[in-house]
Amino acid sequence: MVWVNAIIQGVLLGGLYALFAAGLSLMFGVMRFVNIAHGDFIVVAAYLALTVMVSLGISPWVAVPVVVAVMAATGYLGQRLLLNRVLGKDILPPILVTFGLSIILQNALLETFSADSVRLPAGALETASLTLGDGIAIGILPLAMFATAIGVIAGLQLIFYRTPLGRMLRATSDDAEIVPLMGGNNAHIFAIATGLASAVVGVAGIWLAMRTNFDPAAGPVRLLFAFEAVIIGGLGNIWATLAGGIILGVAQTVGAQIDAGFQILAGHLVFLLILIVKPTGLMPRMTG
Amino acid sequence: MKTLLETRGLTAFYGDFQALFGVGLRVDEGETIAIIGANGAGKSTFLKTLVGIRPNRGQDITFDGQPIGGWPAQRIHKAGLAVVPEGRRLFRSLSVEENLLIGASGGRKGPWTLKAVYDLFPDLVEKRRNPGTALSGGQQQMVAIGRALMSNPRLLLCDEISLGLAPKVVRAIYEAVPLIRGRGTSILVVEQDVSQALAVASRVYCMMEGRVTLTGRPRDLSREEIAQAYFGMEAA
């Protein structure tokens, strides 16, 4: 039963990793942009959530939309004012700039919030669980986290395949150069993509804050998990990213069941194994 | 007749290499103009400069009474200048219908709707759900033309629409030209296929090595003059 339990916990944890990965995948898909600061953006969102809810004491019902909206707006403006300037045929400048951003953000967070690890308290929800008999219990919080991941991914899918905006984003992914010949403004579309990705980062940050202790240096590991989830699933397919997150999550919780120190390593090993066996990921498809 | 598009002394460079040396061209409303010329004559560069995906700041380009030199491509598009790009460039993750719909993103109103495009190219109706790139070359070209028409342009630019297609398919596509003009859209085609261009155009411009070497109405031009302007040598 402990193994079944480990697998269930892993699947639910996979939802969080899918949330980490979705924004990364979206930005890469639309504009071939690799955001090295992605993990730090998630941590920024976590601190933002903590500040708004704990320090300012604003109700979660107001705070969550505020965090997501602030992240989305910042993402849009950041792309428009900064990141668009380094986008081009060469993929190196965006990597360098976001690497620099990553260092700046970590130090700014350290300066503002100190190195102490913190957590966003979720009250009674933290310990609430559903008992499925036979010693298997599912926490309400991880379940809600998983449901959020499904909801976010379904929402992104809906935007990409059912709206004019999504059509434009997919067209940009295919051939950005001629999108202006359809009346689209590349700078604006890229910024919309980053805004959308940043909204997802906001959601991911809130869940990170509730699920684990975090500190200003917590970003790079989240970036790594996000990369692994995207690559396990296969680039450019958002449901595959969820599958990638779940595989990574299960590998980690099963690894932890074998030996507590084996958790993170088990995830990396499964990632490496899939990279060797199927370098394009399990379900690759190069669309939005 | 009112002038729709006029360029004077248009130049273009790729780094140190000069591709266009002062091209002057005029399209009046309701005309079908053809630009002919061999590979590398600068025809495609000319179109790309017109629509703003190559830099055109400071160039003397007047469209519909407005100086559009230096405008971003999307603004030129919204002013009513649409292009069928060389090689079709359909969006491969979009269906045929989505490819058409995205052409209408500029929001210009006019006679061209999904229905009008399907009436023009009935072959596309049953393919509407297919990916744009899963079609035959001729059908893909129809989608590319339809996509440009969906923006309800004042002037439609067509870059090498016969390239790589069977003669029969090319004829079928060119049959659409009078129908498009009949709905009030002027047309500028760029062609290597001289006879096709002469058959459809009210006036032709012949380009060679970045310059206009000959211009006139097809019936006023002799084969020898065209060969001279096209190849830069006396016809054998």
pLDDT value at residue A125 = 84
How far apart, in Å, are the Cα atoms of A191 and each of A88, A94, A185, A267, B61? 15, 14, 10, 33, 30
CA-nearest residue to A171 within chain B is B91
Find, among B127, B146, B158, B141, the residue nearest to B50 by Cα. B158
Q: Which residues of B touch A181 (CB under 8 A)?
A: 51, 53, 73, 77, 82-83, 85
Q: How far apart (Å, rounded) are the C-alpha atoms in residues B42 and B54?
A: 13
> A286 to chain B, minimum CA–CA distance in Å?
8
What tens digit of pLDDT does each residue of B151-182 get?
999 999 999 999 889 999 999 999 999 999 99
Domain residue extents for chain A: 2-116+135-277
pLDDT value at residue A288 = 36
pLDDT value at residue A136 = 84
Residue B235 has pLDDT above 80, yes or no: no
Average pLDDT over residues A30-48: 96
Q: Answer whether A180 sits within 8 Å of B98, measured CB to CB.
A: no
> B124 to chain A, minimum CA–CA distance in Å?
19
Its ipTM equals 0.91
Residue A116 has pLDDT above 60, yes or no: yes
Q: Which residues of A touch B93 (CB under 8 A)?
A: 170-171, 173-174, 286-288
In terms of pTM, does the model score above 0.90? yes
Percent of chain B with pLDDT over 90: 87
Residue A218 has pLDDT above 60, yes or no: yes
Q: Per the structure, how many domains does chain B have?
A: 1
If one counts every other C-beta atom within 10 angstroms of the C-beta of residue B223, the result is 10
Q: What is the 3-state secondary structure (H, E, C) of A121-155?
A: CCHHHHCCEEECCCCCEEEHHHHHHHHHHHHHHHH
pLDDT value at residue B178 = 93
Q: Give the count of Cβ contacts less than 8 A between chain A and B.
A: 61
Residue A118 has pLDDT above 50, yes or no: yes
Q: Which CATH number fits domain A2-116+135-277: 1.10.287, 1.10.3470, 1.10.1740, 1.10.150?
A: 1.10.3470
Q: Which domain holds residue B215?
A: 3-231
Mean residue pLDDT of chain A comes to 94
Residue with tokens 């779940």: A246
Residue A280 has pLDDT above 90, yes or no: no
Q: How far apart (Å, rounded) are the C-alpha atoms in residues A1 and A6?
A: 8
If pLDDT is split at 50, 70 and 90, which confidence band does B1 have? Answer: confident
Q: Answer whether B102 sits within 8 Å of A185, measured CB to CB.
A: no
What tens digit of pLDDT does each residue of B40-81 get?
899 999 999 999 999 999 999 999 999 999 999 999 999 999
Average pLDDT over residues A69-78: 98
Q: Which residues of B touch A284 (CB under 8 A)?
A: none
Does a structural domain hold residue B236?
no
Kind and range of the H or E run holding B135: none
Q: Answer whether A167 sits within 8 Å of B98, measured CB to CB.
A: yes
Q: How far apart (Å, rounded) are the C-alpha atoms in residues B9 and A271?
A: 59
CA-nearest residue to A183 within chain B is B74
Residue A287 has pLDDT above 60, yes or no: no
Q: Answer whether A173 sits within 8 Å of B89, measured CB to CB.
A: no
Percent of chain A with pLDDT over 70: 99
Mutate to test the interface with A, among B47, B75, B93 (most CBs of A within 10 A): B93
If pLDDT is split at 50, 70 and 90, which confidence band does A141 have? Answer: very high
pLDDT value at residue A217 = 97
Identify the contact set of chain A against chain B, taking CB-CB distances under 8 A: 164, 167-168, 170-171, 173-175, 177-178, 180-185, 286-288
Instruction: Extract the tokens encoding A146.
Output: 């998983």
pLDDT value at residue A179 = 96
Does a structural domain hold residue B101?
yes
> A88 to chain B, minimum CA–CA distance in Å?
15
Of A1-10, A39-48, A103-112, A209-218, the range with the lowest mean pLDDT is: A1-10
Percent of chain B with pLDDT over 70: 98
If pLDDT is split at 50, 70 and 90, which confidence band does A175 have? Answer: very high
What tens digit of pLDDT does each residue of B98-114 get?
999 999 999 899 999 99
